[in-house]
Amino acid sequence: MLRELIIIFIFSCFLQIYCFGQEPDPGPGYQMMMINNPSLVGSGGDGELRLSYLNFFPGNGYNLHSVYFSYDSYFQILHGGAGIYLADDYLGGIINDFRGGLSYAYFLQAGKDLFINAGLSASLYHRGFNFDNAILPDQIDPLGGATVPSSEVLALSGRTVFDVGAGFLFISGKFSGGFSISHLAEPDLSTTGNSNERLKRKVLVHLSGDFFLNESQNLKIQPLTYLELQRSYLVYGAGAALASRYLSVNAIIMQDNSRNLNIQTGFSLTAGRISVYYNYRFNAISGNKFLPFSLLHETGLAFGLNNVEKRNTIKTINFPKM
């Protein structure tokens, strides 16, 4: 059992070196931000289905992938928005984190041009293990380099925990901003009971705007900025999206407290009620000379499924399509 715990500890340290946080970071894109800030659900008004795929550190053989599914909409009977999401993080072929949750946001008009959404999410987080392709120390022949059958049998069962999150969204004129805290329950996904392995609370602050450059041609610029803090890891960034009726391009610069400077750029194409998007993130400056150049490929689809009747008390947001 001691050897099993040592292997898990080493692998966990390896993941933290490359991911820097305690979980894969999708970044500033609003297509996946509902998983971190539940107050965003329904804030776009119409019901929307989103599918996303992320490949972390492509071309390096780390085998780190994430898929994401969500649906959210405004519901008049609930006086706010509601949504559901599913996420699956496949980490190196050994750890698989599956999450599923429900989110609700209450919409409040606090002033003539001030709207506040208060959101809450409840989710289940399951961590599973697969050691079929793992090589243990006693499988390695120091002379011939060949693997031999291991005397150890790894039979660690998965673990399922409950988690909650909360957030607020403020909308005034052409600006919108949010604040959220994820992992309020600080769930323990480990099998060791070590409090240091709990998912620490994650704080997210984000702000965006929506300004027309040429209203007749539906050309606008959407500046955005965000800050995320989890445990001792801090990352912040700023950028903008330039959008027309059918095409949106974006770029954002991100800095973290490990002195890494990353740049993400991408585009989104819209035809009718369907949008397809792609983002690429790369490392421009590495604080420890350890990060590879390519950090992330992200692609996805968004489908508008239903129109929602919008009354005067409902303020919707045109989020940057990234």
3-state secondary structure of 100: strand
Report the first-to-last Cα separation within the chain, whole angstroms.
Answer: 45
Q: Which residues contact 272 (CB under 8 A, 6 or more apart)?
A: none
Q: Provide DSSP, 44-63.
A: TSSEEEEEEEEEESTTTT--
Q: Which residues contact 241 (CB under 8 A, 6 or more apart)?
A: 221, 222, 224, 248, 249, 250, 320, 321, 322
Residues of the chain with pLDDT under 50: 1-19, 151-155
Residue ranges of domains in the chain: 2-306
The predicted pLDDT at position 21 comes to 57
What pLDDT digit, counting tens, does each position of 110-160 carry? 888 899 999 999 999 998 877 666 555 555 555 555 555 554 444 466 789
The predicted pLDDT at position 19 comes to 44
The predicted pLDDT at position 9 comes to 39
Torsion region of 59: left, alpha or beta (phi above 0 gives left; psi -120 to 50 gives alpha)? left
Exposed, middle or buried: residue 50 (CB in 10 Å: 0-12, 13-18, 19+)?
A: buried
pTM of the full structure: 0.83
Please tell me the CATH superfamily of domain 2-306, with its number. Answer: monomeric porin ompg (2.40.160.40)
What distance in Å separates the CA atoms of residue 75 and residue 39, rounded to the nearest whole number? 14
The predicted pLDDT at position 153 comes to 47
The predicted pLDDT at position 122 comes to 97
